Amino acid sequence: MKNWLNQHAMAMELVVQRLKTHWLNTLTICMVIGITATLPGLLFVGLDNLQDMSRTLKQDAQISAFLKPALNANLLQRLIHDLEALPQVKEVRYVPKEEAIKQLTQQFIQKDLLADLPQNPLPDALFITLQDTQPASVKPVQQLLQKRVEVEELVIDSVWIERLHAMLVLGKRIAVIFASLLGIAMITVISNTVRMQVLTHEAEIEVSRLIGATHSFIRRPFLYMGGVYGLGGGLIAVALLFVIVWNLKQPVQLLANNYQSQFQLVFHLFNVGGLMLITTVTIGWIAAFIALTQKR
């Protein structure tokens, strides 16, 4: 066990020594990997933020049911009761037309225009807040309301959120394709570099093999080297993402404020950063493994 640990420590020491000797080359490769990883990283950060935003929007998802004029109070109570019985419904709020016009008057700038109207044009309405905006939750409520004669018109506020969800799914798929392509590019770069290292140390490999080195002993420093390139590139990518998000934070917040939104651009260092590091290290290791397999 001690020997095994010694060999891993020696391999790591050898890698650090080699990388230090060719530090400029190491830095260049890490920069290439870092910049390549930043591009899909930005996409993921963007999608992560949009997903966060869509989660907060869920609470506002509503179905508005405009009722027929002069509706019987018993029919109205039964409708409210039936809606509240549905598990998908979080809250049902009844807004009579008198209250609706009052609210409209408060919001409307040209109050005289409303005062001039001969009668209140607004209908009584039910505002139904849902537990969530998934199509499966919206549908039963929608079906119930469409069957009831008491309801004159339905407005489903969640449609645009569903569209946002669909766009997020599409965006994620595009990000994965984009990341995969850049991942292949990273594998090619690292694999080529490791292959060059193998060729440079061919004499050492030959001697080591002759005097009893196992395949693992020979391959280990190169596999570590791939991992270290990935780690270096990943750290650069995380740093770049952090700086980019920090730079965009204020303009995005200004834009969001214009739309009366509290949305803030965030970078989840441990989630996105951690995932980025794990991915780049894995890519580095796989690339080194491919380089060593090609060599043999």
Partner 1 sequence: MIVFNNVSMRYPNSAHLFRQVSFSIDKGAFVLVTGHSGAGKSTLLKLMAGIELPSSGHILINQQDISQLHPNAVPYLRRRFGLVFQDHKLLYDRNSFENVALPLSIQGITGEEAARRVRAALDKVGLLNKEKAMPITLSGGEQQRLAIARAVVSRPSIVIADEPTGGLDQAASLEIMQLLKAFNDVGVTVVIAMHDVSQVSTIAYRTLHIDQQKINPMPSQTAML
Minimum CB distance to partner 1 smaller for 63 or for 225: 225
Q: Which of 6, 146, 188, 250 binds partner 1 (CB under 8 A)?
A: 6
Burial of 202 (0-12, 13-18, 19+ CB in 10 A): exposed
Q: Which of 146, 214, 247, 257 binds partner 1 (CB under 8 A)?
A: 214
Minimum CB distance to partner 1 smaller for 86 or for 213: 213
Q: Which of 3, 74, 258, 260 binds partner 1 (CB under 8 A)?
A: 3
Q: Please, which residues have CB within 8 angstroms of residue 213's CB and are 6 or more apart in sequence?
A: none
Q: Which of 69, 87, 118, 212 binds partner 1 (CB under 8 A)?
A: 212
Q: Which residue in the block uniquely carries the two structure tokens 């049911």?
A: 65
Q: Which of 73, 211, 254, 296 binds partner 1 (CB under 8 A)?
A: 211
Residue 23 interacting with partner 1 (CB under 8 A):
no
Residue 196 interacting with partner 1 (CB under 8 A):
no
C-beta of residue 9 within 8 angstroms of C-beta of residue 208: no
In the chain, beta strands by DSSP E: 62-67, 89-95, 125-130, 151-156
Q: Least separation, in Å, of the C-beta of 289 and partner 1?
A: 18
In residues, how long is the chain? 296
Residue 204 interacting with partner 1 (CB under 8 A):
yes
Q: Of the ranges 7-15, 30-38, 61-69, 154-162, which one interacts with partner 1 (CB under 8 A)? A: 7-15
Burial of 201 (0-12, 13-18, 19+ CB in 10 A): middle
Q: Least separation, in Å, of the C-beta of 202 and partner 1?
A: 11
Residue 10 interacting with partner 1 (CB under 8 A):
yes
What's the rounded Cα separation, in Å, for the pair 153 and 150?
9
C-beta of residue 193 within 8 angstroms of C-beta of residue 19: no
Residue 210 interacting with partner 1 (CB under 8 A):
yes
What's the rounded Cα separation, in Å, for the pair 9 and 251?
48
C-beta of residue 241 within 8 angstroms of C-beta of residue 232: no
Q: Is the dihedral of CA 252, 256, 262, 268 positive or negative?
A: negative
Is residue 113 classed as helix, strand or coil in its secondary structure?
A: helix
Residue 213 interacting with partner 1 (CB under 8 A):
yes
Q: Of the ranges 87-95, 120-128, 184-192, 208-216, which one interacts with partner 1 (CB under 8 A)? A: 208-216
Minimum CB distance to partner 1 smaller for 214 or for 293: 214
Residue 146 interacting with partner 1 (CB under 8 A):
no
Q: Of the ranges 5-13, 40-48, 154-162, 219-227, which one interacts with partner 1 (CB under 8 A)? A: 5-13
Site residue total, partner 1 (CB under 8 A): 20
What's the rounded Cα separation, in Å, for the pair 158 and 60?
9
Which residues would be at the binding site for partner 1 (CB under 8 A)? 2-4, 6-7, 9-10, 203-204, 206-215, 217
